Amino acid sequence: MRKIYATFLILAVYSQCGYTQSKINPDYIRAKMQWFADAKLGIFIHWGIYSLGNYSESWSFHNKGVSYADYMKQLEGFTAARYEPQAWAKLIHESGARYAVMTTKHHDGVALWDTKQKHYSVVKNTPAKRDLLTPFYKALEKYGIKKGAYFSLLDWSYPDYPAFTKDSIRYTIADDPERWKRFLKFDSAQMAEINQLVKPDLWWFDGDWEHSAEEWNAVGIRQELLNANPSVVINGRLTGFGDYDTPEQNFPVSRPDFHWWELCMTTNDNWGYRKTDSAWKTPYEVITIFADAISNGGNLLLDIGPRADGTIPEEQVHILKELGKWDNKYAKAIFNTIGGLPQGHFYGATTLSKDSASLYLFVPARTQGNIMVKGLKNQIKQVIELGTGQELLHKVVGKISWSPVPGLVYIYVPAGVQDEYMTVLEVKLDGPLQLYRGQGGLK
Ligand code: GLC
């Protein structure tokens, strides 16, 4: 797992970048990250020539599952003929997501915009023949959705990039440092083009693992992006010189210790569209995973893989719409909240309002009956089911008058208030949350 030591690292980076005091200020970083922390849900889009659906994105030729020539033949079939960027943005909006991250260029090097560099693009090399990024990001703006640009630092197709397939390299940096410098120049020219074209709010790097931070000039890249947009958010796959961490497909069990994090996850088993992949996650699974992420103070970046013609598989549309129905219904407990109770207090996901005077309990699987919360020192003013507004009964069990240990709170979830997926309760407290974390007894 790629780990970043958020605040410490960021401060180190900012000082290396020669940033002024005001910008080194942790308040500045926190302010810059606020929209991201509040957003909770993003939609990831993997779209490229691999979206014909026969081979996995880039890796298939790198790992020699298909020859490079056959992989690149897909250029001829990438039509984007039924691409409706407005409809994509509308669907993303409906899902409740506050940001979207699109693959501007994957490891195969094919740009989805009209790159001025001498390299592949869907404009020059495919029947799509047009810039696919601009209309999409424009549509996102219309819905107030933040714009994220996925960009693969490594480029297995570029003649000046050292690695090609898993067992063949073109050269090593030690042998030809000038050639590597040419690659870096090319890569940053492409980043500058994207900055100009779509002004991303977030850069989502990938493919950093083949080189060190020094080789990539990670500090320099970060500085260039901040020069273009001082409040831009950068993911951690810039050899750690980003703002947040990105556990991929792997669900944290204990709460991650980095400050900002985002779980990126596929809706089936692939990032890009695959004809043969029917391992769809159900809306219930996606919703419970999402609740778990926000409970632990993170975001979910949920991936979709449109087909080469621009249509989105029905199963993904279904997942996004169901997710949207649910997170719009329970928006108050999801967006603009903070991570919930530490483990041990409630057997399920929780979040808190920013003033921590409201505790939200996520109750899965159409639970009916008594649920329990431990270690709550506060008095409860009221418990309601958020979807229906119905007030629920609760009682405190086993409070010993002379002991500082709080009693157990039992909340009765009656029949009829259950959400199809996950019911959410608001526990209104008498003030900011106060927890008992002891071991019982007299302590
Ligand atoms: C990995 C893969 C890549 C995918 C990405 C998404 O790093 O290299 O194919 O796009 O994860 O998180």
CATH number of the domain enclosing 110? 3.20.20.80
Residues 175 and 242 in one domain: yes
Q: What is the pTM of this model?
A: 0.94
Residues 244 and 311 in one domain: yes
Task: Give the residue, out of 105, 271, 277, with the most ligand 1 atoms within 8 A of its beta carbon, to mutate for a pocket test.
Answer: 271
Residues 301 and 406 in one domain: no
- Look at ligand 1, atom 1, and give the residue with the nearest C-alpha: 206
Ligand 1 is surrounded, with C-beta below 6 A, by: 46, 57, 59, 206, 248, 264, 271
Rounded Cα–Cα distance for residues 306 and 45 (Å): 8
Structure tokens at 346: 């409630």
Residues 101 and 120 in one domain: yes
How many Cβ atoms sit within 10 Å of the Cβ of residue 331?
Answer: 15
Residues 95 and 234 in one domain: yes
Tell me whether residue 438 is in a domain.
Answer: no
Tell me whether residue 28 is in a domain.
Answer: yes
Residues 296 and 346 in one domain: no
Tell me whether residue 110 is in a domain.
Answer: yes
Which CATH number goes with the domain that contains 406?
2.60.40.1180
- Look at ligand 1, atom 9, and give the residue with the nearest C-alpha: 57
Cα of 271 from ligand 1 centre, angstroms: 7
Residues 267 and 288 in one domain: yes
Q: How many domains does the chain have?
A: 2
Contact 80, 130 (CB under 8 A): yes
- Sequence-distant (6+) residues with CB within 8 A of 154 are 107, 161, 163, 207, 208, 210, 211
* pLDDT tens, residue order, the chain (443 aa): 334 434 444 444 444 433 333 345 688 888 999 999 999 999 999 999 999 999 999 999 999 999 999 999 999 999 999 999 999 999 999 999 999 999 999 999 999 999 999 999 999 999 999 999 999 999 999 999 999 999 999 999 999 999 999 999 999 999 999 999 999 999 999 999 999 999 999 999 999 999 999 999 999 999 999 999 999 999 999 999 999 999 999 898 988 877 899 999 999 999 999 999 999 999 999 999 999 999 999 999 999 999 999 999 999 999 999 999 999 999 999 999 999 999 999 999 999 999 999 999 999 889 999 999 999 999 999 999 999 999 999 999 999 999 999 999 999 999 999 999 999 999 999 999 999 999 998 66
Contact 303, 76 (CB under 8 A): no
Rounded Cα–Cα distance for residues 49 and 307 (Å): 9
Contact 106, 57 (CB under 8 A): yes
Tell me whether residue 435 is in a domain.
Answer: no
Residues 248 and 351 in one domain: no
What is the position in ligand 1's atom list of the atom closest to the CA of 237? 7
How many residues are listed for the chain in this entry? 443
Residues 193 and 63 in one domain: yes
What is the position in ligand 1's atom list of the atom closest to the CA of 57? 9
Give the phi and the psi of residue 16 in degrees, each rounded to 5: -60, -35
- Sequence-distant (6+) residues with CB within 8 A of 274 are 53, 54, 56, 268, 305
Tell me whether residue 440 is in a domain.
Answer: no
- Which residues span the domain enclosing 197? 2-329
Which residue from 131, 98, 118, 73 is spatially nearest to 327, judged by alpha carbons? 98
Tell me whether residue 189 is in a domain.
Answer: yes
Cα of 50 from ligand 1 centre, angstroms: 13
Which of 311, 329, 347 terminates a domain? The answer is 329
- Sequence-distant (6+) residues with CB within 8 A of 255 are 296, 297, 339, 342, 343
Cα of 206 from ligand 1 centre, angstroms: 7
Residues 230 and 194 in one domain: yes
Cα of 402 from ligand 1 centre, angstroms: 56
Residues 277 and 185 in one domain: yes
